[in-house]
Structures are given as structure tokens and as C-alpha cells.
Structure 1
């Protein structure tokens, strides 16, 4: 059996699972979904996907006509896996002597090496068949179970199987293999004899074609895995990233998986100079999403600032310029999502869809934060006009009725009904469970808008426009005052999740209210009451914060947004609580929520999923998975980094040459250390335990504030 490449395993946790469930491999805009044996099974949502189209709808290995027995799956990185199998035992035998290992790598193509190892004492004959089909279906059609695209024409050219999209001929696929396969439309076969103690291997290459041209994969035939493009990319990401160390082994495993997943989810767009942005998540969101990509980049700032800057530059280029009801584009509006599949023109109005209320203010907030973390001043200045246009959108289009709040209502029946992060059809409802009628003004969006105005004030001041800075701060304070008056439910002790089209409070208790702590729009008085409500069992599941309280009419722990737990949402709540660390109970609740979230991560093999069911820990432990949760998913992967940053109280300001560290490190973490934290052209090492921290390596002229050791 071939040894796994050392470079791919160095310091990395390998997810080892049984044969159950779906295995997702991802690298940029390429991903593959299979079962635990490595098979892409026909008639399922499995497939090898490239640029939002399913290129392979069947990829099944058979040994002497039978499915192999799956033993385990090892995924040392997000883009590669080893499926450990055995040939089914002969009739009357309990054991098998033929071990089969499928080593798969994805990255603008797919490479699979199949190795048969004979552990028996005599030679064995085996017939291998790889069944191959393609349907070139759009990603959304696959997700929704309606994949009925035009199908594929299959032809054979020597030992190469060629598949072409029958509907338009734009997409195609080439499948070729070593070890002299017999090739017919639909299958590659081998008849081999493996000597006692010997091995037999074949290497299969899958290359997409677009408009008749082969796409160059990120690997070559026979190339060692650690030298391939995906491996070099993840190594470069690690080399450029801050090293995070912690005593707690559970958090250590999660952080290592975070680093791997964020590296694999990055897309370097050659059309835009190779600058990076992060895809939202596998399997269904392997593309640029405004909200998801912005929040993930924010969370990942302690590792590297380039990802945030690349995300901002890309979104600035795609920023709305005109009014288009079909795509919901408006001048200054930041993109919701970008799609490249064959049906993109008919999905949510087109390839570029803008129906989101929160990405636009989050764009402005991230730009100012990028500058604080040391992004190049000239590059920040170049994006500043896009930030100014974003705030104009908040005033001219986001505020539909001139009341100072940002509202949403979809422009056509093709758009999203709800346009905040809880964007499912039933995601926004009141305490009785009734759906909110629009236009809807979400509480967290007002918080983001408040933070955006303060961020633009800071940028205006930095770039010599003090009058604009004063105006933006004034608008922010006015919004904060009006928000407190309109959204606070004094008799309940929480913020309304929204105002409806009649400006009546939508009074459900939700996790959205905790985002108001993160943005800073909450007053201290309101924060103190809110902390108490979030700490109650109806919100704290024991594994994280529920999206909707158990006492609400629409509560369902198995729903997408009405009672489930989303790791990124809980992480934002924790960061918000620590922003109000002076409020009684805030730090204790933050630490308790973090402990529960890390326990959930351990139950999921060190990788936090997009979401999981919100059952009480007392009733179900470990947590119950949500059946269609994305994994890896960008902001879930980045959530642990936000925890690290929040519990350190880490606030750099590179232009002012100041670094604030005010830690509240949870006891179970032990010692937390950041090595070579990049602060523009400077670096520093931070070590923290409990409420004390030391900083080493800050250059002369820098000021350190916060708790010292």
C-alpha cells in the first residue's frame, strides 16, 4: 500500500471515518461528492463538479462485478482522500486478502490512483471496472433533485473516453488511464493478476473541457501529491499565515482543520490577476458570496490580510452600477452571489445576483478593518470609492422609505424573499411564528449599517476628509439612537428581530440580536438585559446558540434557521459578548458557548459544519447533524479564528502603530499563543493565559495596551 505523502500529513489532523455518509473533497471551484467507498453513485447528488456544473454523475468501481467493501476514509487535506477498501470475501469465507486503495485528488480536474495489494499467499486474479457517466447538469438542478440536463455523448479515442454535453457542446470531459484499460462508452476495465505479496496500480486522469479546450489541471501524471498545485497552494497559505498554538487538544485539531479548509476553499481568479477570495462552502456554494466571503475574510484576518483585500477588490469590481430588477442590481450594492453553471442565467435572475441587504455595509466595515490590520494604504485607497458608493446605496436604495433603516423587499418573484443571513423562506417570523411581511428591516443589518458609517468615518479621516468623517459619525449616532427606540422590546429584554412593512416590531427572540452586540450598536443597558436572555436554556443549546428560542412559535430544532445552531452565528455572538466584557455575565456566557461549540466540533471530527440541529445537549449528545449541511463551509471553518481573536481582545491598528490585547482566555484552552502575527511590515508574538498576556517583538515606536503578564 502506497504511503501517504509526508508533506500532506505534517502537523495536520486526518479525518478518518467509516463508510457511511458523503465524502466531500474541495479545491477552489472544483469539488467531488462521493460515498465512503469513493463511488459517485448515479441517481444521487454525488458528482465531480467544476464551475457549477456536474462533470461526472457516475464514477463507480467494481471488483469482479461487485462493489468493494469500504473500510475507512482518510482525508489529510480538504482536496485529497484515501478510500481504504477490500474485495468482498469469497462465498463461505469471512475475510478477504485483496486490499484496494483509491487515492483521489481534485483541482481543476480529478486524479485517482487505484492500488490493489495482495495480502494472500498465492496470486489472485481480479477484474476491475470503472463505470463512468456524465450529465453536465447545473449545480442547482442537482441540489434540488431535478438534474435532467441534456445528457452526454460518449466516444472512445484509443484508450481515452471522451464525454460531451449533448445540449450545447460547450462542456466536456476526457478520461484516460494507465495500465492499458479496455475502454468502451460508459466504462474502463482491466483484467489483472496480482502476485502474492504484490501490487498493481493504475492512474486515472479526468480533465474538463470548455468550448473544446482542455482545462489544465493542477497536477500532472505521476506527480507526487505534495508537489501538485493544491498542495503547493496550501503550503503557501500556511507559510504566509500566523501560527496559532493552544494547549487544548480539541481546539488544536479544529484550528488545524480550519487552516486546511480555508486554504482549499480559496479561489484565485486568473481573470483578476490571481487575487484570492474564499468560496462560501461545499458542496453547493463553491463560488463568491458577498456576505459569506466578507465575514469569512474578517474572521481570517489573524491568519492573513491578503484574503480580505482580495475579496474586497473582487467585490468592488462586481459592485452594482445600474438598476436591474431581474438581478436586483442597484448602484453601489454589493453582490450576493456569482454563478457559472449552465443554468445560471435562469437562477436568481442571472450569473450575478445582488439580492442581499447585509453584504453592502459589511463591505465597508471590512475595508476599514483591513486597513487597521496593515493592508497596503494605496490598495485601501483604491477601494475607498466603492465603500463610499456602498454607503450611498444604504441611503438611496437600502433605505426604502427614508426612516434611516435599511430594508429589503425582493424586486421580482425570482429573488430571495429574505435577504439577510437567514435567507430561507420562513427565516424571519414573530414570537407566534407568523412570517414577517416586507419590506423588512433586520436588527443585525442596522448594526452592520451603524458599523459601516463609523468605518467610513475612520477612512475619511485617514484620507484627509475630516468634514465627511464628522458627518458619517453623526449619522451613525443618530442611527444608534433611533435603533434603540424602534427595536428594543423593554417588556421582553431583547431586540426585535426586525421591523415589518408597517414598522411594527417582529418580536421573536433570535440569535440575530447577538449580532447587535458584535456591531456595537447596542447600549450597555440593553446589552446587560440581552446577556441574561441569551444565557437561558431556551437559547443556549449546550453546543452553541440557537437561531431561535425554544419558546417561539416557529421553533424547530431540525429547521434550517428556526432553532438550529450555526457555528459562525455563535462565534459572532461570542465576539459580541466579549465586546461588552464589562457587562456582568457576558464573559462567562461567552466562555460557556465556546466550550459547547468546541465540544460540537470534536463530535464532528474536528470540522465544524455549516449548521447542526438545535436539540438540547441534555437530550442528544453528541449533537445531531443537519442532513444537508455544507462541510467544509467557509464561515464555519473560520469561526474558531474569531473565537481566538475575541478571547484575546486583539485589536491592532497598524497605521497608528498600536496593539491592544485584553484577554479572557477560557480556562480549558490553557495557554494561547500567536507566532509571527503580521501587522503590516511588523510581526509580533502574543502569549495569553486567562486574563494575562505578553507581547514580544513589537518594533520601537509601537504602543501596547490591554492586560499585561
Structure 2
């Protein structure tokens, strides 16, 4: 994802949202809300309600008798619901307060908030409530980079409703209304209420965005319980169709439950295409389709729902590059990096869609074959084969810029991302001394993705009766594997170069990228044992996961974005790679240690893994140290526990060939694992694993279960 990059895509440092506990993030589809722990959105902060990549609420502050209420607690049972529990500040000379305020907030295509004032005292009390409201309609990029300015909405009082309109773009607006009639002034709604002893007063406030002539969608029926809201119904439907994964370990069970909830909330449904689902990259700044992030998340989520992968690929295929456009870095066959719909998207991205990524294109082909193995409809997969072939053509014609057999990147203009792999900060790729390379840059993990993509397309060719193409692609993959070992291996160090620079110099930093090479299978057994030993070192293993960069490297900084931090998805991919090489001594032991560390980190973060956290060793700080601008929930971090489960189960279905492989190496602390209603094509299977004992119920007679 775009972050900390001094290109035109991000010209300033991300703002600190108080990752240590100051911010509350709610998300549903492409809408999200950031507030403080009172529920307030204060002006001059990066907080707000964001709809279609624009901030439609920049102020939403509740005052009680002219004062800020005192916070007691925040509860968030789902990613799109929060209950802010507050009290009236004690009056002078009193130790306690008798007035409770509860703000129950739902985020969907707008915001609905029920404010309840409860009098717990023995006397009737009078309360003055005031809600201050404003909007600046600032572009999400501007807010993220701290340059949103002091834009104010055009405010209209329409009887008992407050209307806010964007002064610069008349197509955007917001309407605020209340179920209990307020006194409305420009910028505020207020109520004077009398609450008897033991009584309560309540109002429901709705903030509904609008776009041009687009009708305003209702956020639900007045008084509707939040549990029966549209987002709640949507996530209930997701849970009904998704595989249910349970663990004997209560901590892991809680993490998996949060994973399911967050992935459900991060889904976006394309109503123009029958509600086709795809997953947004993460809150707060990446609530949109991302090539790399959405593909990897869908891969990790295959044990829950193969439909998410199919929808994501269909969406990306429709947006696949068709022409050469340096401004957006579009090229024929290239899978896009990022889509935005904010008011400044054209100025920042060169258009609504930006293509500057080097790895999404091979990942697309890899996922297509995986989705088919997990039961994606054969016709749907076959319809996506032209997109896969166009992706492979991009790899050969545009990805390999100099004909050396490796895929490289160099941004097309000074506006694009300098680094176009997953470590896309400007200084995310460097050598052991910390020096930055000259482009074009060939990343080690990208060559692994290309290797896996060639094999994936070969597997699909074989299924659909094209043996000649399958053989040709496998030969290309074998040739790439050999060339990769020759060009990237550093025999004097015992690991692969993170990249080759524009002069084909090996960048010799020890990084987590080599874990991705294990995951793709491009590493030979000859080198795997040494790689595993390097990843096992204290330089790499923090005790809570793998560092992105070893602590012995010149650019190491445990508080950086990509140079020593821990990214849960990155560690989970490395674990999957280690278990691919489970026959190599030390692989299972390291995988187990890393998974235990990630689980402990998840527990420390309240059951939800963030996008990243600082890479300090566990021996120094007993809990993981948050990274200030980390996204949470973030799609591939949320999905990382699913990849861990799949990998330790050794779960590898093959629907076309009617086989289910389960080769478990579960960590002892996990206890019994169960997958209920695992949908594999037309089969619905219940799977239970305890130790090395595997039980598969409802397995069709024509299927074969492989457990050793």
C-alpha cells in the first residue's frame, strides 16, 4: 500500500492516529469513520467520516451542558459498530456522576448514531445536549498527508434538518437529521431534555452522504436495532456461507472470530455486477480495491470462501491494462495497483486507477489456479484465462524490461511509486550497508511469484486439455528457477539478494523477502536449509514475528515502515513457505515459533493483528510496540491467521482431481482444530484435526483423502 513515499502519491508523512489506543476506527465496505474514544470527530485532526474517498464529516462533537463527557469504555462487537460509554462530569463537590451517556454508532453508507441519556440518580435532571457538525469534503489523500486545509461546507438549515454541501464540488453533500426534534442552527443540533430519576431519553441521529443526483440510501428503518441493520445482515450472510473454523485454544479462537468479522466488514460489493464481492485493503486509508493486497487477502481467505477470490479476480480483470499510459503506468496486461474515487484522485494518481505495481500481475495468475483447486466454478475460471494469458504476456513483454529473464520495475514518471513491490516506501529496498539502489530493480520475491504463476497457468492448461502449453510453461518455470539461483544467491552470506539493481548488482541485505521465495517454491532444497537458518537468527526473529530487515543491516530501524518492523502477513507468508519445506530440518520448529509469536502479538492487540508493529526484540519489551500509523483492521493482516491455520493443517484441496490433502503439524498450544461446512466445489466437508489424527466427514465417495 502507498505509505511514507516522497513521490507525488504521498508528499507528506502519515499523521499519527494514536495507534496506542487514542483512535477508534469503524469500517463497512468503502465507508469508514475515525474518532476519538469519546466518539468525537474534532476539527484539525485526521478524524472524520469518509465516503467514496472524501471526508464528509470533519466535525462531530457531542457536548453535555457545554462540556465534554467523560469516557468510560468503548465496545466494538463488529468492525462497523461501536458503543461509546460516557458519563456527565461530576459536579463541583461531588465524587460521582449519576448521568450515563451511550453513543451507539453504525457505519454503512453514512453514519447512524443513537444517543441515550440515562439518569441513574434519585432526582430529575435537566440536560443540555449539543452536537457540533461540519464537513470539509477533503480528499482522503489530503487528509492522510495533513494538508486538508480549512475547507468549510456550505451550510443550509432546512426546517429540522442540517444540510452541508461541498463548495468546490456541488455533487457532494451530507444531510443530518434526528428522530427527536432538535433546535437547528448552522453547524449544530441541540436538545434540552428533562430526564426523570431512573428514566432515559434517546434520539437517533443520521448523517447521510449524497453524490450528485444519486438518491440518498436509507441507513435503515428508524429505531431499527443495530443487530438487524444492513451491515449486520450482510455479515450474517457471509458467516452463513463461510467455513466455520474453531480452535481448542481460546486465544486463537478469538483471533479467528475477529478475522472473520473484519474480512466481512472489509468486503465491498459491486452492485452493478450482481453484488460481486471483493476485499478492500484496509482501514483507515486504503478502503478500496488494491491489486496486490486484495489478491493476497483473497488467497489467505480461501479456506473461508472461494467466492471472494473469484470476485476479486473478476473485478481486477475488468480493469486490466489495455494501453500504455505513463501517467497511470497502465500497460497492456498489467494488473492495477490502486483505485480511488476521491475529488483529487486524478491529480494524485493520474486518473482513478493507478497501475504502478510489479507483483499484482503474477499474483493474479497464481490465485486463479489456487481458486480452481479450492472449488471455483470451472466456467468462471475458464472465462478468466484470457486475463491470465495477458498477465503472462505483460510479464514477458513489459515486466522483463531488458530481456534478462527477470521482472524489474522503474516508475514511468516522477509521480509514481519509486518502489513497486510490497515494500513500497521510498527507502524500503536497500543493500546491507543501507544504500539505496538505482532502478530498474528486480525483487527476489517477484521472481518467485513469476515462477509460481508459470506453474499455476500450466496446471490450468493441463486441466483444460492443453498439454503442450502446460509443458512449455513448466519448462519456462524450471529455467527461471535455475537462473534465479545463479543470479540471486549469495554464497558468502547464505541468503538470497533482496534484489538486483539497474547495474545487476546484488543488493545483499538480509530481509523477510526470502520467506516469500520459500512460499513460491522457487528455492531449491540445496539453499533452503541455509535460508531457514538465517531466518531463525535473532537478527530476524523478534519473538513476535519476522523483521522486514535484519537488525544487523545498515538501514535497520525497528520503528520504520519497512526496515525492521514486523508485518503479520509477511510473517504468515514466511510460515507458509517454511511448512512447504517441512522436510528440511528446522523448518517446522521455526514456523511454530513464529506462529506462537504472532498469536501472542494478536492477543496483545486485543485479538486483531494490525498492519504492522515495531520490530523491537521481545527480550526488550514484553509486548509488541505499536507502529503509530498502522492500519487496523487491515485486510492481509486480518487474513494472516487463516494462512497460518491452512499451513499448519497442510490443507491442500484439489477439486478437479477430487483429492483432499491434510498433512498436519499443529502447534501444541492450538489444541483441536475444526473446519465445519468447508465448501469444495459441490462438496461440503467437515474436517477435524487433533495432533496427527485427521477426520473428514461428508467426504464424497469419489474423493480421496491423503493424510501422509
Same-fold status (TM-score > 0.5)? yes
TM superposition shift of 1:220: 2.6
Instruction: Indicate conservation of the 8 Å contact 2:558/2:564, yes or no.
Output: yes
1:506 counterpart residue number: 507
Instruction: Indicate conservation of the 8 Å contact 2:547/2:566, yes or no.
Output: yes
Q: What are the equivalent positions in structure 2 for 1:424-439 lying under 5 Å apart?
A: 424-439=425-440
Q: Distance in 2 between matches of 1:493 and 1:512?
A: 14
Q: Distance in 1 between matches of 2:104 and 2:168?
A: 32
TM superposition shift of 1:153: 0.1
**Segment of structure 1 superposing worse, 669-678 or 144-153:** 144-153
Q: Distance in 2 between matches of 1:273 and 1:335?
A: 22
1:546 counterpart residue number: 547
Q: What are the equivalent positions in structure 2 for 1:401-416 lying under 5 Å apart?
A: 401-416=402-417
1:246 counterpart residue number: 247
Q: Secondary structure at the match of 2:287?
A: coil
**Segment of structure 1 superposing worse, 370-379 or 207-216:** 207-216
Instruction: Indicate conservation of the 8 Å contact 1:218/1:230, yes or no.
Output: no
Q: Distance in 2 between matches of 1:503 and 1:378?
A: 43
Instruction: Indicate conservation of the 8 Å contact 1:328/1:353, yes or no.
Output: yes
Q: Secondary structure at the match of 1:319?
A: coil
TM superposition shift of 1:467: 1.1
Instruction: Indicate conservation of the 8 Å contact 1:361/1:391, yes or no.
Output: yes
1:279 aligns with 2:283: no
TM superposition shift of 1:20: 4.4
Q: Distance in 2 between matches of 1:19 and 1:569?
A: 22
Instruction: Indicate conservation of the 8 Å contact 1:207/1:214, yes or no.
Output: no
Q: What are the equivalent positions in structure 2 for 1:619-634 lying under 5 Å apart?
A: 619-634=620-635
1:270 counterpart residue number: 271
Instruction: Indicate conservation of the 8 Å contact 2:685/2:699, yes or no.
Output: yes
1:360 aligns with 2:368: no
Q: Secondary structure at the match of 1:279?
A: strand
Instruction: Indicate conservation of the 8 Å contact 1:549/1:563, yes or no.
Output: yes
Q: Distance in 2 between matches of 1:159 and 1:613?
A: 49
TM superposition shift of 1:217: 3.8
2:479 counterpart residue number: 478
Q: Distance in 1 between matches of 2:353 and 2:274?
A: 20
Q: Distance in 2 between matches of 1:702 and 1:97?
A: 65
1:658-687 alpha-carbon deviations (Å, 9 max, x no partner): 010000000000111111211100021221
Q: What are the equivalent positions in structure 2 for 1:295-334 lying under 5 Å apart?
A: 295-334=296-335
Instruction: Indicate conservation of the 8 Å contact 1:18/1:71, yes or no.
Output: no
Q: Distance in 2 between matches of 1:98 and 1:61?
A: 15
1:347 counterpart residue number: 348
1:422 counterpart residue number: 423
TM superposition shift of 1:148: 2.4
Q: Distance in 1 between matches of 2:555 and 2:20?
A: 36
**Segment of structure 1 superposing worse, 297-306 or 340-349:** 340-349
Instruction: Indicate conservation of the 8 Å contact 1:19/1:35, yes or no.
Output: no
Q: Secondary structure at the match of 1:659?
A: strand
1:223 aligns with 2:224: yes
Q: What are the equivalent positions in structure 2 for 1:293-692 lying under 5 Å apart?
A: 293-692=294-693
2:49 counterpart residue number: 48
Instruction: Indicate conservation of the 8 Å contact 2:252/2:670, yes or no.
Output: yes
Instruction: Indicate conservation of the 8 Å contact 1:322/1:329, yes or no.
Output: yes
Q: Secondary structure at the match of 1:287?
A: strand
- List structure 1 segments (4+ residues) > 6 angstroms apart after TM superposition: none
Using the size of structure 1 for normalisation, the TM-score is 0.96
1:698 counterpart residue number: 699
1:72 counterpart residue number: 73
Q: Any stretches of 5+ residues in structure 2 without a counterpart? A: 1-17
1:634-661 alpha-carbon deviations (Å, 9 max, x no partner): 0000000000000000000001100100
1:59 counterpart residue number: 60
Q: Distance in 2 between matches of 1:19 and 1:682?
A: 44
TM superposition shift of 1:697: 1.6
1:37 counterpart residue number: 38
Instruction: Indicate conservation of the 8 Å contact 1:171/1:212, yes or no.
Output: no
1:157-180 alpha-carbon deviations (Å, 9 max, x no partner): 010000000002110000000211
1:87 counterpart residue number: 88
TM superposition shift of 1:212: 4.1
Q: Any stretches of 5+ residues in structure 1 without a counterpart? A: 1-16
Q: Distance in 2 between matches of 1:401 and 1:97?
A: 73
Instruction: Indicate conservation of the 8 Å contact 1:333/1:393, yes or no.
Output: yes
Instruction: Indicate conservation of the 8 Å contact 1:113/1:201, yes or no.
Output: yes
Q: Distance in 1 between matches of 2:205 and 2:212?
A: 23
2:290 counterpart residue number: 289
Q: Distance in 2 between matches of 1:217 and 1:596?
A: 44
1:12 counterpart residue number: none
Q: Distance in 2 between matches of 1:200 and 1:304?
A: 43
Q: Distance in 2 between matches of 1:418 and 1:661?
A: 38
**Segment of structure 1 superposing worse, 186-195 or 145-154:** 145-154
TM superposition shift of 1:531: 0.4
Instruction: Indicate conservation of the 8 Å contact 2:32/2:50, yes or no.
Output: yes
Q: Distance in 2 between matches of 1:51 and 1:522?
A: 42
2:174 counterpart residue number: 173
1:184-233 alpha-carbon deviations (Å, 9 max, x no partner): 11000000110000000010011101014443144232112122110010
TM superposition shift of 1:451: 0.3
**Segment of structure 1 superposing worse, 682-691 or 276-285:** 682-691
Q: Distance in 2 between matches of 1:82 and 1:150?
A: 30
Q: Secondary structure at the match of 2:281?
A: coil
CA RMSD of aligned residues (A): 1.2
Instruction: Indicate conservation of the 8 Å contact 1:19/1:73, yes or no.
Output: no
Instruction: Indicate conservation of the 8 Å contact 2:19/2:627, yes or no.
Output: no
TM superposition shift of 1:181: 0.4
TM superposition shift of 1:19: 11
1:203 aligns with 2:200: no
TM superposition shift of 1:149: 6.9
Q: Distance in 2 between matches of 1:563 and 1:582?
A: 29
Q: Secondary structure at the match of 1:475?
A: helix
TM superposition shift of 1:261: 0.2
Aligned positions, number: 691
Instruction: Indicate conservation of the 8 Å contact 2:111/2:219, yes or no.
Output: no
1:237 aligns with 2:238: yes
Q: Distance in 2 between matches of 1:675 and 1:239?
A: 11
Instruction: Indicate conservation of the 8 Å contact 1:124/1:195, yes or no.
Output: yes
Instruction: Indicate conservation of the 8 Å contact 1:149/1:167, yes or no.
Output: no
Q: Distance in 1 between matches of 2:479 and 2:42?
A: 57
Higher relative contact order (CA 8 A, sep 6+): 2
Q: Distance in 1 between matches of 2:137 and 2:273?
A: 26
Instruction: Indicate conservation of the 8 Å contact 1:102/1:114, yes or no.
Output: yes
Alpha-carbon distance change, 557 to 353 in structure 1, aligned in 2, over 3 angstroms: same
1:134 counterpart residue number: 135
Q: Distance in 1 between matches of 2:170 and 2:524?
A: 59
**Segment of structure 1 superposing worse, 222-231 or 618-627:** 222-231
Q: Distance in 2 between matches of 1:47 and 1:123?
A: 35
TM superposition shift of 1:348: 2.5
Instruction: Indicate conservation of the 8 Å contact 1:245/1:673, yes or no.
Output: yes
Instruction: Indicate conservation of the 8 Å contact 2:172/2:210, yes or no.
Output: yes
Q: Distance in 2 between matches of 1:18 and 1:548?
A: 22
